[in-house]
Structure 1
Amino acid sequence: PFPGFLALVPVAGTVLLLLAGAAGVRDGILARNFERKTAGLFSSNCVNAALALPPLQWIGKVSYSLYLWHWPVIVYAGMLVEELTFAQRFACLGLTLALSALSYHFIENPIRRNGWLMANAARALVPALLLTGTGVAAAYGNAALAVRAEDPEQRAIAASAAEPATARAKACVEGYDTVTPKPCVFGNGQRVIALFGDSHADHWSTPLIEAGKKNGYRVETWLKSSCRPSRFSYFVTKLNRDYRECDQWREQAIKEIIAARPSLVVISELALTSSRKMAAGKGEPDTPDAVWRAGLRSTLTSLSKAGLKIAFIRDVPFNDENIDTCVSRALWRDKAPSLCDQSRAYAANDQMAAVEREIVTSVPNATYVDLTDRFCNATTCHVFIDGQLAFRDQHHLATPFAESLEPEVERRVISKVGR
């Protein structure tokens, strides 16, 4: 990560430019000594000629604007797109240049050349002092925030939210553009458990892999971002279209799982009601219940007819905001994390789960595994359980908490279904 050895590149480049510029200085002992020692290594005429080129002159003029704009562009691009392609990174560069040019011509220059400010030094000094004072106050506040962010509780929450599940940590959750499955293998047991699904299957990978190792299983994963195992096409916001790559990948994954002949297929996926909550107000096309029901039944039936045992894990509760942020904010204010708890009526999707259970249990060799009681009582779904952050965002398990569910996964999935 930067800064590291890569920091040498811009630093060395800056030093070389300074040295080359020094070669053009004609006054002083330092310049004369420099010219003698570096004769033939640098040509001040060449450097000056290069730096005099209009494109480089223009970059120099807007360099401060470039400095101001590049970071927000990078940050927001990373928030909007999970993995930036080369073309997207290049587009970010173009956007940064465009924003820099606009702010240079329409903000920086007009203020710098403002006649009213230039006519009286005090007019420029007063707003400058105000802005400087504001900056100092903000810096002081940020320093206080930085100290508070080092609180053990805050650090634990940040670490829990940042830790990826075992499969994702090994780059075993495939991206949106993939159409050919690339399964990963965890462990060296004689028997095989296949883990099949989207990121809501991935967050079970940590406890499942550990429980599998204890019971002589190796876990093979077929995981793809936002790609449900249920056979139906659906709209994905990040692509702004139907997820055709998922349809192709899913069919190939089902064929490969059947060919692998695992002892057990563990399936989990984002609940349809959860995706509807995320899409609320965005005008996205919805998937009718009947389409989802038929798709789920079709996938389960294909695996069941091949003689495979199936454990379908019910989706986790859905929260109305990112739980790591909510809990961190509550603790910051010396409040209890329970302020972030959700009503079961909203979070648990019980009605949809009842339909899901009926479909799963109607398919031979398929078992419905419901761990909702680890999160919810009759009225409330908790987000901070046994002193741990349960969710890293709205609807994905925090990995340390998922790891603590290994005994439950062993008891309810492997012991009950897998044997």
Structure 2
Amino acid sequence: MNRVSTPPRPAARRLSPTRGQTGLHFRRDIEGLRAVAVIAVVLFHAGMPGLGGGFIGVDVFFVVSGFLITGLLWREAADTGTVRLARFYAARARRLLPAAVTVLVGTCAASVLLLPPLQARSVIGEGIASALYVGNYRLAIQDTDYLATDATPSPLQHYWSLGVEEQFYLLWPALIIATAWVLARVAARTGRSLTGSVAPYAAVLAVLAAVSFAVSVVLTDDSPSWAFFSLPTRAWELAVGGLVALTAGMWRQLPGPSAAVVGWGGLGLIAVTCTQVGSSTPFPGTAALLPVLGTALVIGAGCATPDLGVGRFLSQPTMRSIGRLSYSWYLWHWPTLLLAPVLFGGDIGLAGRLAMVVMSLGLAILTLHLVENPARFAESLKESDKRSLAVGGALTATAVGVCLVLLMIRPVPTGVGVAAAPVAVTAGAQKAPNAVAPQPMSVRDQLMVAVNESTEPRPVPENLTPPLGAVAKPEVFVNGCVLSWRDVQQPDCVSGDVASPTTVALVGDSHAAMWQPALEPIAQKKHWRLQTFSKVLCPLMELPINSPYLGRAFTECEQWRGDVLAQLAQQRPALVVIDMSRRYGADFGFVSYDRAWLDGLTRLVQQLKASGTDVLVLSQVPDPPSTVPTCVSGHMDDATACAPARTDGLNDAGIAAEAAATTVGGGHYFELSDLFCTGERCPVIVGNTLVFRDDNHITTEYATALAPLVAEQVEQALRRG
């Protein structure tokens, strides 16, 4: 979110038009263009109807940064043959770090006060990454979907763009210096100086832009999070701005009327993108061409007539005032919007969000006058690059240090209640002592008793298993057996008695894989060969499917399940155990439990049965309203506070319809509801065992606790055939 202006040059250092300087005066229209960009982003995040593509304001900022910084660096390289890096980074430190650190520290402190401990610690971790300007890669590694509407983002997630720009500041000067060095060597050999020519620099930027754009297009389809958050896939946007700076001399030759048409056309492209692009649009990819080219046209037209056409609109005092506030407003608006519902105890609605937008604008005004400008224009810092860099380093160290202190202040909580009995079920257990005559209690009854007893209010037990700080994914999720979005080649994931002639196949999306820890010990004990086939958000039924994450038809899912079904038909395992999430909505092309879903399940069971394989379908597990470990960490005095009502967590009618569809196909159905819920509630801690590791997958520990009952069902299915 760079706001570097183009400073006036001393008269004694006049440049010829062929050197493409970005201008001899402050570009007021660019200041107004920043206002357009920040308004688009802020209103998008506030949920303003009709602005589903407002996030492209960040792309506008990238092009502006590329224009200003490239012009600044090229002029110095053209004049001196190099770039004074200390001076460049000192100016960036004075400009960017004071406000960024202020908001970062304030957001982390507010998160400690307002958010559950685990969520607060996650925000602090992101704060450390953001302070070091690598937060964008943290988000990419975590496969974060910036445009997801069903996830709870971090109040520091927007710092990803600052990470991209800081990395750009490391790359660009090196690129300019390297080009200048090569030109100097050529001049030394040929006697022909190209130092003042823009052509070599433009050629380098053009190649960089082409390569970066190609990578962006490929990764937008194959790896959306890396495409969205990384510098290599965003560098072309900055390079486009740089190319406008280097060709400013040509832009200035545009006649006034032509420049006006070009400028208004560019602003129109930005506006169209804001209103027509949405969360389902693959981005950046080719969709980013519109706002990037639109911004380039606005800036280029301003080289010719900065105070006419669209420049006159952008140069209005109101637009310029907002533009001056754009950096601080961008920093403040997102944490304000994210933390306000927590502070006020629920959804604040569109009106409330717009009020928070105004409040963040007030914070931006204060930050501009109390933090940004004092640091940026302090004479003691401006006259010493070393001092500026030292202050910048101290600010970064302070931000990291404060975050580390906050981590100590907000440790992972431990249970405060008395130790609870583990969930342990055994065959032949006796009924309660008050029974007329002691009789064996079924495994299912034992589990139901444990679930029922866990609905009573009580503090989180001190022996909670797993502890909140050690909730981990099962091994099957990290060893490559659960395929991600773009993977199609299922590895040979075999466990249990691998030489056994009896194969049990566990097949489905990630909800199938979460049962692998329950089936693994059974397979070892019963000498079964357990083979796992799993792909995220890809049910095995042959239904046309879209991927909201990829923003297109989920062809990888279609290919994977076709290959898996062919493999199952060839191998003919003794039993196929099927499970899948029941969270599929209309954006996938179907809805869980709808007619297409039920008919697809019946066809799937019939297809597997026809190949000589028995089928066991596992029913839905409850859907908690939020990430369970995080919720529990904020309610250590009441283990039931995060437990959803049965009617909210389960679809009993859908489960019954699914059971009937399975029976029609000739398969067996394992109804799990009573192992998670009573008639009223679905506890998230049973005995001393945490049931869920997130907002829909069960923990390895609870899956293991249910293993005896799963073993019963598998054996019955194998016997019944």
Task: Give the structure-1-normalised TM-score.
Answer: 0.70
Deviates more, 1:196-205 or 1:300-309: 300-309
* Residue of 92, 96, 99 corresponding to 2:230: 92
* Residue of 670, 678, 684 corresponding to 1:369: 670
Does the CA contact (< 8 Å) of 1:160 and 1:392 recur in 2? no
Q: How does 1:21-60 map to 2 (within 5 A)?
A: 53-54=82-83, 60=89
Q: How does 1:218-229 map to 2 (within 5 A)?
A: 218-229=529-540
Answer yes or no: is 1:338 the counterpart of 2:646: no
Report the residue type matching 2:620 in the other structure: D
Give secondary structure in 2 for the equivalent of 1:338. coil
Q: What residue ranges of structure 1 are gaps of 5+ in the alignment?
A: 1-51, 120-131
What is residue 68 of structure 1 aligned with on the other side?
131
Does the CA contact (< 8 Å) of 2:509 and 2:534 recur in 1? yes
What is residue 547 of structure 2 aligned with on the other side?
236
Deviates more, 1:260-269 or 1:81-90: 81-90
Q: 1:287 to 1:134 in 2, by over 3 A?
A: closer
* Residue of 501, 505, 508 corresponding to 1:190: 501
Q: 1:139 to 1:367 in 2, by over 3 A?
A: closer
* Residue of 119, 124, 143 corresponding to 2:408: 143
Does the CA contact (< 8 Å) of 2:464 and 2:689 recur in 1? no
Question: What are the superposed Cα offsets for residues 100-156 of structure 1, whole Å, 9 maximum, x if unpaired?
Answer: x999x967974423369999xxxxxxxxxxxx9999987655422137579976894
Give secondary structure in 2 for the equivalent of 1:265. strand
Does the CA contact (< 8 Å) of 1:234 and 1:287 recur in 2? no
* Residue of 87, 112, 118 corresponding to 2:375: 112
Partner Cα distance (1:245, 1:134) in 2:
42
Does the CA contact (< 8 Å) of 2:509 and 2:535 recur in 1? yes
Partner Cα distance (1:343, 1:238) in 2:
29
What is residue 140 of structure 2 aligned with on the other side?
77
Give secondary structure in 2 for the equivalent of 1:337. coil
What is residue 129 of structure 1 aligned with on the other side?
none
What is residue 327 of structure 1 aligned with on the other side?
632
Kindly state the Cα deviation for residue 71 of structure 1 after the two structures are TM-superposed: 3.4
Report the residue type matching 1:112 in the other structure: A
Partner Cα distance (1:212, 1:155) in 2:
24
Partner Cα distance (1:344, 1:405) in 2:
20
* Residue of 465, 468, 482 corresponding to 1:158: 468
Give secondary structure in 1 for the equivalent of 2:709. helix
Partner Cα distance (1:330, 1:375) in 2:
20
Answer yes or no: is 1:269 the counterpart of 2:269: no
Partner Cα distance (2:469, 2:401) in 1:
30
Q: How does 1:303-318 map to 2 (within 5 A)?
A: 303-318=608-623
Kindly state the Cα deviation for residue 80 of structure 1 after the two structures are TM-superposed: 4.4
Partner Cα distance (1:403, 1:242) in 2:
36
Q: 1:135 to 1:180 in 2, by over 3 A?
A: closer
Q: 1:87 to 1:356 in 2, by over 3 A?
A: closer
What is residue 401 of structure 1 aligned with on the other side?
702
What is residue 298 of structure 1 aligned with on the other side?
603
Question: What are the superposed Cα offsets for residues 280-332 of structure 1, whole Å, 9 maximum, x if unpaired?
Answer: xxx7765481221222122111101111100111121111111111112111x
Partner Cα distance (2:406, 2:701) in 1:
32
Partner Cα distance (1:378, 1:150) in 2:
27
Rg (Cα) greater in structure: 2
Does the CA contact (< 8 Å) of 2:503 and 2:529 recur in 1? yes
Q: What is the root-mean-square deviation of aligned Cα atoms in Å?
A: 4.1
Q: 1:158 to 1:75 in 2, by over 3 A?
A: farther
Does the CA contact (< 8 Å) of 2:505 and 2:575 recur in 1? yes
Report the residue type matching 1:222 in the other structure: F
What is residue 352 of structure 1 aligned with on the other side?
654
Q: What residue ranges of structure 2 are gaps of 5+ in the alignment?
A: 1-80, 98-128, 146-218, 242-322, 329-370, 383-396, 417-461
Give secondary structure in 2 for the equivalent of 1:342. coil
Partner Cα distance (2:517, 2:377) in 1:
61
Q: 1:133 to 1:172 in 2, by over 3 A?
A: closer
Question: What are the superposed Cα offsets for residues 329-357 of structure 1, whole Å, 9 maximum, x if unpaired?
Answer: 111xxx12111111111111111111100
Kindly state the Cα deviation for residue 373 of structure 1 after the two structures are TM-superposed: 1.2
Does the CA contact (< 8 Å) of 2:466 and 2:701 recur in 1? no
Task: Give the structure-2-normalised TM-score.
Answer: 0.42
Q: 1:293 to 1:72 in 2, by over 3 A?
A: same
Report the residue type matching 2:607 in the other structure: S
Report the residue type matching 1:359 in the other structure: A
Does the CA contact (< 8 Å) of 1:154 and 1:328 recur in 2? no
* Residue of 380, 387, 404 corresponding to 2:688: 387
Q: 1:153 to 1:72 in 2, by over 3 A?
A: farther
Q: 1:192 to 1:321 in 2, by over 3 A?
A: same
Alignment: residue pair count: 343
Does the CA contact (< 8 Å) of 2:483 and 2:535 recur in 1? yes
Give secondary structure in 2 for the equivalent of 1:177. coil
Partner Cα distance (1:285, 1:181) in 2:
24
What is residue 251 of structure 1 aligned with on the other side?
562
Q: 1:166 to 1:412 in 2, by over 3 A?
A: farther
Percent identity reads 23
Question: What are the superposed Cα offsets for residues 16-46 of structure 1, whole Å, 9 maximum, x if unpaired?
Answer: xxxxxxxxxxxxxxxxxxxxxxxxxxxxxxx
What is residue 412 of structure 1 aligned with on the other side?
713
Report the residue type matching 2:408 in the other structure: A
